[in-house]
Amino acid sequence: MLVPMTKVRLIARRGSLDRLLEELHRLGLVEIAEPPAGVALESLEGEELRTERRDELRLLLAEVDSLLALLPHPVPARDEDSDPVAGAVDTAAVRGLLAQLQPEVVRLTERLDRLHDEQVVLPR
């Protein structure tokens, strides 16, 4: 049975491209042809943007972790490699929410500390 072919573009790191092509050839799922002479391999743009985004997300994560550390009961440790949020993260919205929550969390933590101090001082 003949099946119409669809052109695909493979994107891989240069170091894993040979391994990818060998695996596709072994599976027999695609026909591999040389690209036309006019098509040049281009590097993916935006390394600087990805680095900035990664740094911004790490900063947000540190802020969230510092707020969670203020909780009276420890939060279970998370797996560093897991992605707790599916999809893209709106960092501006998260930063705005953190800005709203942080003063309230600090205020409640201080109140809780005062209550603990009062409990120690009060007679049973």
Which has the closest alpha carbon to 65: 105, 92, 96? 105
Q: Is the whole model's pTM more than 0.85, yes or no?
A: no
CA distance 62 to 66: 6
pLDDT value for 83 = 62
pLDDT higher at 1 or 22: 22
> pLDDT band for position 116 (50/70/90)?
confident
Give exposure, 76-95, as e/b (b: 16+ Cβ within 10 Å). eeeeeeeeeeeeeeeeeebe
Write out pLDDT tens, residues 66-91: 877 777 676 666 666 666 666 677 88
To 10 degrees, what angle do helices 91-121 and 47-69 make?
A: 20
pLDDT value for 88 = 74
Write out pLDDT tens, residues 23-57: 887 887 777 777 777 666 656 667 777 888 888 88
Torsional class of 53: left (φ above 0), alpha (ψ -120 to 50), beta (otherwise): alpha
**Dihedral angle sign, alpha carbons of residues 13, 17, 18, 24:** positive
> pLDDT band for position 112 (50/70/90)?
confident
